[in-house]
Amino acid sequence: MIELAELIAELRRELNAARTTAQGEDLYFEVGPVELEATVVVERSATAGGKVRFWVVDTSTDGRLADSVTHRVRLTLDPRTRSGGGRAPWVGGDEAEGER
């Protein structure tokens, strides 16, 4: 299992890698809303000031989670860049006129 934050961080790295890899390519894809669905286990720490954590369940861990309650979570992420302020640029490296 991994934490939901780690899953989102890895997704961010993959989207950045796709942009970098596409530099110089003629075919572009606009980065639109990203839908992510995961099965998670919600865990609350019993210690004082404990946190709630969301662990993403790997399908191969079925037997170990027999006594845990799982939930399905669907997130829609709208990628943006710090520099552009608006929607993320096209998946491509070269800047094009009118590109967001």
pLDDT band for position 41 (cuts 50, 70, 90) = confident
The number of beta carbons lying within 10 Å of the beta carbon of residue 45 is: 10
| Band of pLDDT at residue 79, cut at 50, 70 and 90 | confident
Place of tokens 């990203």: 34
Residue 14 has pLDDT above 80, yes or no: yes
Considering the entire predicted model, what is its pTM?
Answer: 0.63
Tokens 């009118």 belong to 98
Beta strands 29-30; 34-44: pairing state: unpaired
Q: Go through the chain and tell me how many residues it has.
A: 100
**Domain limits of the chain?**
2-91
